[in-house]
């Protein structure tokens, strides 16, 4: 997967930084929260219409996002709560960035791009939710062409080139198709089973 390739390529940059941060006594969970706060700043920049600057900042925030996991492994502080917090903050961060764009295009009265952002947010959240629910029923579910790394890459390219119409169409369509792909994948893996107690009520 592209995600694993990106982690491997950037490891030589992130690891030395993680070692320095670890010596300062900063916890991985604090880094996770700081990463979310950085994305609030990115959203504000985008809401003001500074697309190219926002693209650079989205890329920087995405690079920072990998620091908490590397730090946790370096300090041997990996935990289930840390993984949970990181996943939740990732969803908050991505939605916040899209929210900044949404605010800008609403102010520009561009209903088409505003609706595309709404669709992209739905698709992005469903991609992650589908994986989480799949893993909850014992199925690994990392399939699909538009995981978070790909979404960030497409968004950054769109912002830097200021080609947001085509970028948002790509994100809106492919993110939702990836969610559907994951549903189909889980169905193929487990098929139809007896209804749960909740479904019988």
Domain count along the chain? 1
The reported pLDDT for the residue numbered 194 is 46
Does residue 199 fall inside a structural domain?
A: no
Cβ atoms of 132 and 88 within 8 Å: the answer is no
| pTM score | 0.84
Does residue 37 fall inside a structural domain?
A: yes
Burial class (CB in 10 A: 0-12, 13-18, 19+), 61: buried
Does residue 57 fall inside a structural domain?
A: yes
| Per-residue pLDDT tens listing for the chain (201 residues) | 555 555 555 555 666 666 676 667 777 888 889 889 999 999 999 999 999 999 999 988 887 777 777 777 777 777 888 889 988 999 999 999 999 999 999 999 999 999 999 999 999 999 999 999 999 999 999 999 999 889 999 999 999 999 999 999 999 999 999 999 999 999 999 876 545 545 545
Residue 162 has phi, psi (to 5 degrees) of 60, 35
Does residue 155 fall inside a structural domain?
A: yes
Does residue 43 fall inside a structural domain?
A: yes
Termini Cα distance of the chain = 40
Write the CA distances from 30 to 10, 18, 24, 88, integer angstroms: 21, 13, 12, 14
d(CA 102, CA 108): 10
d(CA 100, CA 116): 14
What's the half-sphere exposure (Cβ side, CA atoms, 13 Å) at 85? 18
Number of Cβ atoms within 10 Å of the Cβ of 3? 12
Does residue 198 fall inside a structural domain?
A: no
The reported pLDDT for the residue numbered 196 is 52
CA nearest to 89, candidates 64, 114, 70: 64
Does residue 193 fall inside a structural domain?
A: no
The reported pLDDT for the residue numbered 47 is 97
The reported pLDDT for the residue numbered 134 is 94
Does residue 107 fall inside a structural domain?
A: yes
Residue 10 sits at the vertex; the CA angle it makes with 154 and 168, to the nearest 5 degrees, is 10
d(CA 56, CA 159): 8
State which residues form the domain around 63.
Answer: 2-187
Burial class (CB in 10 A: 0-12, 13-18, 19+), 110: middle
Cβ atoms of 73 and 178 within 8 Å: the answer is no
Helix H or strand E segment including 187: helix 164-190
d(CA 103, CA 49): 9
The reported pLDDT for the residue numbered 80 is 85
Q: Provide the CATH number for the domain around residue 26.
A: 1.20.120.1760
């Amino acid at each position: 997967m592209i995600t694993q390739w990106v982690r491997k390529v950037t490891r030589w940059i992130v690891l030395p930084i993680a070692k320095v941060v670890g010596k300062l006594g900063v916890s991985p969970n604090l880094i996770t929260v700081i990463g979310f706060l950085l994305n609030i700043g990115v959203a504000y920049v985008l809401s003001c219409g500074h697309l190219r600057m926002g693209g650079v900042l989205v890329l920087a925030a995405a690079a920072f996002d990998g620091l908490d996991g590397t730090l946790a492994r370096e300090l041997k502080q990996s935990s289930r709560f840390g993984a949970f917090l990181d996943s939740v903050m990732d969803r908050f961060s991505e939605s916040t960035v899209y929210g900044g764009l949404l605010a800008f295009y609403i102010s520009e009265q561009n209903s088409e791009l505003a609706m595309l952002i709404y669709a992209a947010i739905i698709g992005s959240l469903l991609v992650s939710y589908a994986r989480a629910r799949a893993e909850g029923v014992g199925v690994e579910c990392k399939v699909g062409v538009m995981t978070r790394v790909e979404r960030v890459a497409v968004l950054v390219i769109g912002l830097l080139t200021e080609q947001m119409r085509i970028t948002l169409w790509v994100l809106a369509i492919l993110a939702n198709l990836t969610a559907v792909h994951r549903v189909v994948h889980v169905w193929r893996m487990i098929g139809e089973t007896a209804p749960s107690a909740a479904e019988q009520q």
